[in-house]
Each structure stands twice: as C-alpha cells, then as structure tokens.
Structure 1
Amino acid sequence: MKSVKGELIAEFIGSFILIFIGAGCVAALVLNGAQYNIWDVSVIWGLAVSMALYITAAISGAHINPAVTLSLAVYRGFPWAKVLPYATAQTAGTFTASAAVYGLYRNGFLQYEAAKGITRGSAQSQTLASIFSTYPAPYLSNFQAACVEIAISAFLVAAIFSFIDERNSFAPTKALFPLAVGIVVAVMGGSFGTLTGFAMNPARDFGPKLFTALAGWGQVALPGPNGYFWVPIIGPIIGALLGGGLYDYFIGRYLPVEDPLLQETDNSKKEIAASAETV
C-alpha cells in the first residue's frame, strides 16, 4: 500500500531530477559555452522529464507539476487533500535542485560575473538567473507570455490525458509513457521555448526563482522584470485546466466504449469457431 510520505518523497525526487538535469544543461550552455541549439536543450529537458517519470512514477504517478496535479484532481479524481502537499513537495524539489546545480557550477558563476563585470542582482545578471528559471522574449508583454504558457500547457495536459486514457488504443504502454511525455515536452520546447522558456510548470519556475532570489539575484528573480514571476505560475494552471477540459470534450467523449455484453458475445463466437476447427 502506498504511503503519502512515500508519494511526497517521490514527487520531491522527480522534481529534483527535472531541474538538476535541465538547469544543469543550461548552465553548461551559458557558463561553459556548450554547443547546444534550442532543439538540443529541448530534448535534454524532455529526457529529464522522462527520467523523472521512469524513476518515480510507480510511487506517486510522477506529476512533478502542480498544474498537472490540479488537472488530475479536477478531471480524474485525484484526491484534493493531496494537491497542496504534492505542490509543496514539487516546489521543494526544484528549489533544492537549483541549489545543487549552483553548488556544482559555483566557480563558473563567479568567473562569468568577474569576466563580464556583472554585479549579481543587476539587470545584466538576468542572463545567469535564467539558467534556473524562465523569462520572456523582450518583445512579449506579460499577457502575451501568459497566452503562450496557457497554450503549451494545455497541449501538454491534453497529451497526458490521451496517454492515460484506457479507451485510447494508440496510447503508449506504461513502459513507454515516460518517454512519450518527454517527447511532448521536447516538442513544445523546440517550437515555443524561445518565447517563454516553456515553463509549463509552476514548481519548475517558482522553486528556482525563489532560490535565485535568496542567492543574490533579488528582484531580478522575484518579482522579476515587470513582475513576471506570476506568469509561469498562473499560465500553466489555466492551460492545464483548459487542456484537460478540451481533451474530454473534443476527444475523450468520442473514444469507443467497449460494451461488456458485446465483448462476451464476441468471445463466445471465438470459442465456438475454435471448437469447430478442432473437430
């Protein structure tokens, strides 16, 4: 029998893995000049999601995303009493992973700041803060960025709902489910990552922003330029709820429901046919 404690530990670990690998990749790009393009980065983030799911999904379902947890509570009967504890564990995991990445790359941060003459906490230091959390393209308003996050988060949750729908004969097997979700994340990153950094996850963004605020980036992290911090929180939540509803209304309602009586009749016919072949 699963324990809530075990589930929360799994959510913490899964969320830790997400940022440990994802932010580690961006740190390599910014600090060490790793030769990554947007697709490379997106694939690494997608694989981070897949690894988190492979390691922890059997325990907690590996939501690793408060928006996903909330959508499952609204549409799929996930216990409401677990929503806030899950979100807290997820955020704690991303915060801790940010600290771990910073610790491993600390000398790189110091060298970069010294070489560029950047004072941590200044507007110029946003480049380093963006290693951990997301910021919008300079030509986007907060509203426009929120629309991007709503759209891609809706796509993510609709895809997840299709993957877990037992009526969907094309849904991936349990063994391939983590990989399928990772592919969705990678595709969203490759398509729209240059707009908002494809947060799609309040914990993925707020935990690292909280860490960077405490680690010296201050208002560059929280509340961020133009008070941006709310966008990767509210946008994914709205998008997740929208995506779940759209899936149920436009896809789920039209999936075939197997009639037990027809299935029993079909099985009887098969048995009769098999008996006839042996005569």
Structure 2
Amino acid sequence: MTPLIAEFIGTALLVLLGNGVVANVILNKTKGQNGGLIVIAFGWAMAVFVAVFCVASYSGAHLNPAVTVALAVAGKFAWASVPGYVAAQMAGGMAGAFLVWLMYRHHFETTECADTKLAVFCTGPAIRSLPGNLASEIIATFVLVFAVLHMVSPKVSLGAIDALPVGLLVLGIGVSLGGTTGYAMSPARDLAPRLMHALLPISGKRDSDWGYAWVPVVGSLTGGVLAALLHSKLLMA
C-alpha cells in the first residue's frame, strides 16, 4: 500500500466510523438514537484508533490536513509531499461520507429536520458566533496537534496499540472541548463531507452552510500551525 492510498483508506475509515456514530445518534429510528455527546465522542475516538492502526505503518496516519501541514512546519514531514497527502485525505473524507449516507439512507428519509441531516456530515456551532467558534476550533486543534507531535517518535513501540493514545486524545478533546462547535479539527472531516452533503441526492436537505464552512478549515490549520511552532520553539529552548 502506497502512502497516498493509505491516507485515502485511513481517512475514509475515519469519516465512515466517525460520521457514522453521529448518524446513529441523531437520525430518526436508528438503534442508537439519542445516545448523546458521550457516545459520539467515544465513537470518534474508536474511529481514530481503527484508522490509525490500519495505515500508520504505510503513511504515518496523518488522516488530517491540519496534522500534515503542522508536521511540515515542525520539520517532521517533507513539504513536497503535503499536496498529495491533503488530496488523498480530502478524497478519503468524501468517500467515507458517501458510505455513511449509503448506510443510513433510509434513516435520512425518515428524518424531517434538515439541520440534523447536515449535522451528520459536518460540524456546526452550538451558539453561532464566528470569532468564538473560530477560537474554539483553534484551541481544540492546538491540543490535538501539540499532543500528536509528542507521539510522532515514541521511545517504546507497541505496534498497533500505538494508535490507542491518539484515540484517547480525541476522546478527551471531545468530552472536554466538543460542546461548542463539535470539534472538527480537520478539513478532511468537515469540508470533504460537507461537499458530499451538497452533492448527494438527500431528500429534504438544506444548504450546506457555506457561510460557516471556513471556520473549521481556518481554525484547524491555524491551531495546527501554532502547535507546531510552539513545539519547535520548546525543542530549541
């Protein structure tokens, strides 16, 4: 498996399982309906764990443009490889979102609320305040990337279980910081599925909220870069 195929498959798995738990919790007539934020946060943590251990040995399991860019800023990844990784991640995110729609298509049909249908694909603010929402995404992604940068070169390898700390990290961020915007922390997790929401023939859907779409993109990339800069500064201190 080449690194780009690995990033595609890993990101597709991530979004399939991550957005899948959202669908299971919020769409009508599923067996997981009304499971709540804790179920969603745990599902996303397991999605990260599964995706990372499946492809880590092939591509490093970035699975997130914000992580890829941050690793390049920190000098841990070649800038020449960034465009290919980001393209593979975005394509994987779109593929994963398509599979979620395919899996839950009958439940989309029985769900009347257009906002709920959109929420399966992408994040949205609990209280719409774009500066505050942007700050939330920056902070959450900063925590994610700053911690990941300390996991890049572990002294002790545990094989596939090396993916577990990343999953636990995402779980911690979800339950602690996920209540404001839904903690996108990645364009591949938010923008790519949002594009699929716009393209798919979902009955009764609304617009894809493009007025908000830039927030998780700019927020995640900014948070990742800030984490990389601080990490590099601490190493040089």
Say yes or no: does 1:150 pair with 2:135.
no
Indicate which of 232, 236, 241 corresponds to 2:220: 236
Task: Give, as a single letter, the amino acid of the residue that structure 1 aligns with 2:24.
Answer: A
How far is the alpha carbon of 1:36 from its aligned partner? 2.0
Q: Note if contact 1:136-1:196 (Cα within 8 Å) is conserved in structure 2.
A: yes
Unaligned runs of 5+ in 1: 114-123, 255-279
Superposed CA deviations along residues 65-112 of structure 1, whole A, max 9, x for unmatched, are 001001111112412121111111101111111111111111111122
Distance change in 2, residues 1:106/1:12 (3 Å): same
Partner AA of 2:137 in structure 1: E
Deviation at 1:49, TM superposition (A): 0.6
Alignment of structure 1 residues 124-135 onto 2, 5 Å: 124-135=113-124
Aligned to 1:213: 198
Which residues in structure 2 correspond to 1:1-279 (within 5 Å)? Answer: 6-31=2-27, 32=30, 34=32, 35-113=34-112, 124-137=113-126, 139-165=127-153, 173-216=158-201, 220-223=207-210, 227-250=211-234, 252-253=235-236
Structure 1 length-normalised TM:
0.78
Q: TM-score, normalised by structure 2?
A: 0.91
Contact 1:172 1:180 in 2 (8 A): no
* Aligned residues of 1:15 and 1:52 also touching (Cα < 8 A): yes
* Total equivalences in the alignment: 232
User: How many angstroms does 1:33 deviate by?
Assistant: 5.7
Aligned partner letter, 1:101: V
Cα-to-partner distance string for 1:97-148 (whole Å, 9 max, x where unaligned):
11111111111111223xxxxxxxxxx51211101110111x2311111101
Q: Which has the higher contact order (CA 8 A, sep 6+)?
A: 2
Between Structure 1 and Structure 2, whose CA radius of gyration is higher? 1
RMSD of the TM alignment (CA)?
A: 1.9
Higher helix content, 1 or 2: 1
In 2: Cα distance, 1:22 partner to 1:175 partner: 19
